[in-house]
Chains A and B, each alone.
Chain A
Amino acid sequence: MNTATLDPNRQFEHDALATPTSEEESRQMFVKSLKYHLATRVAPGNKLAYEARVLPEAEKAGRAPGSYHDVRALMADDGYYRLWGAMQRSSQEMMWRSVQVSVERQIDELQAKAKGNTAPLGSVTLDPDMPIPGYISAVDIHCMPGNYHGEFREDDLSNGAVYDRAVWFYAMGRMGPLNDDMGRSMSDHIKAHYPGLKPKRVLDMGCGVGHSTLPYVDAFPEAEIYGVDLGAPMIRYAHARAEAMGKKVHYSQQNAEKTNFPDGHFDLIVSHILVHETSNKAIRNIMKEAYRLLAPGGVVLHLETPPYRAMTDFEACMLDWDTRNNNEPFWGGSHLIQPEEMAELAGFGAEQGFERTIPSAFDQAEKQRTKIFQAGDFGGGGSWYIWGAEKEKA
């Protein structure tokens, strides 16, 4: 798909998307405007409150912060920070509601369309017996009621439809009309950094509805593209969405910690915002699984926002807000990961681990980006943090 011809200010309305009525769209667009206002006109005040009163008072009282946890404890009593947080949380809840209403209205139609495709390009494989791990089921991730795996009718894809639309508002459109900035940024990087890599098969772990998977279909037209995710509604919807956009992908409901693919099956394994939704134990398993699945000379890359060691304690505190306020229990833990350590324990060898910063591919959103990594401003950084490991050639 030639994304250059799409309206950069509107989500592309493929056939599987829950399209809004005039009124639903107004409600959804309000959330986008509210989130933008919070990110650009309210959030910056937190730093001023910290520097003007929170930090001086703490220093006077002999409680100078020594970590981002200390900063959080100090900010917890600040009225401005609390007000910002309360509104940020509310905006998140409003976002899901505004999309749910629209999906609920047209679910029969969406489901019928998905089922009506009798000659698919790709495939979809479900595993109803697959256990949902505790790190996913403990709380509804990023406050999406029903989570990735919740099903509310037979063959449900509702939450896939909710997620597809809501992500565009969450990122305030700054990940592009296809919500594909992460996949495009990463695949651009891979082609530039590994010019010799001609993957036969590519795996996207934790693919969700396939926002980041589809760019690989275009980037590597010779390769077979696979996506795995824990959530059945995600996989069903991802399949419907890929087909609606004429992209061939093989989706299956699987846990990335332990898949059913043979050893050495992939030359390239990627994930986009998967890591922060796992756990310390799970990400270790995922890295070991990646090592098993990669052919010699293959590479695994994960995309996230930058680690806390790359920023001040105050900045880390502002990025870490999601850990305790947006149902992202491993957000903080995932931002402390050391790539070399992961590469070592998974069998790659410490020296095979790497971390890099890559630019955002969707440059039409540059003016709307704050260039700050902070809670409630996803897609506004203008760059992404990636880490991973290269498997040595045989």
Chain B
Amino acid sequence: MIELPRKAKGERPSYFEDGTLDSMLSMLLALAGEVVVLRERLDSAERIIDGSGLLTDRIDAYRPSPEVAAKREALRAQFIDLVMRPVQQEYENLQEKAARQESYHKAIDLCISG
């Protein structure tokens, strides 16, 4: 074993007024990752459980086939969509705002030309 440093040299930028928020966000994302790790481990267990042999060893040695990898990719994308929903909502609000502005501009153009 070796212990590599976890901190990259260089000042870390702060993205929010309160540094606690930066930490909370980092923890949230790390936690989200660990939930996915758990879920995939369960997925491995479910696929293996009906076979024989030491379950833990087989789970650790399990490597997804291309088909399973593709399925997991889709599951992860869905999971991230769910967790990141508040951000997506902000994005959609911005899209709607842009669309509203555009349709209003079109209405003005229509009235002027019509």
Contact = CB atoms under 8 A, between A and B. Distances in A.
A104 B1 contact: yes
B50 to A, nearest CB: 17
A34 B85 CA distance: 13
Contacts, number: 166
Given A22-B60, A89-B12, A103 B4 contact: yes
Interface in A88-104: 89-91, 93-94, 96-98, 100, 103-104
A268 to B, nearest CB: 34
A9 B70 contact: yes
Nearest to A36: B77
A56 to B, nearest CB: 9
Interface string B49-67: 0000000000111111010
Interface string B19-61: 0011001100110111011001100100000000000000111
Contacts of A53: 97
Nearest to B39: A26
User: Taking chain A's interface residues, is the majority helix, strand, or loop, or is none over half, making it mixed?
Assistant: helix
Contacts of B32: 30, 34
B10 A42 contact: no
Contacts of A51: 98
Contact of B91 (A10, A22, A42): A42
B103 interface: no
B41 A26 contact: yes
A269 B64 CA distance: 40
B76 A30 contact: yes
Interface stretch (A65-73, A125-133, A139-147, A258-266): A139-147
B69 A145 contact: no
A329 B55 CA distance: 48
A10 B64 CA distance: 11
A344 to B, nearest CB: 34
A27 B33 contact: yes
Interface of B: 1-10, 12-13, 15-16, 21-22, 25-26, 29-30, 32-34, 36-37, 40-41, 44, 59-64, 66, 69-70, 72-73, 76-77, 80-81, 84, 87-88, 90-91, 94-95, 97-98, 101
Closest 6 CB pairs of A and B: A139-B10, A86-B15, A140-B8, A48-B94, A45-B91, A33-B76
16 contacts: A22-B41, A23-B37, A26-B40, A34-B32, A41-B91, A80-B91, A82-B16, A85-B13, A86-B21, A96-B8, A143-B8, A145-B8, A152-B4, A156-B2, A158-B4, A327-B9
Given A29-B73, A90-B29, A104-B2, 8 more contacts: A22-B44, A22-B63, A25-B64, A33-B76, A34-B33, A89-B13, A89-B15, A145-B5
Interface of A: 7, 9-10, 21-23, 25-27, 29-31, 33-34, 36-37, 41-42, 44-45, 48-49, 51-53, 80, 82-87, 89-91, 93-94, 96-98, 100, 103-105, 107-108, 138-140, 143-147, 150, 152-153, 156, 158-159, 162, 324-325, 327
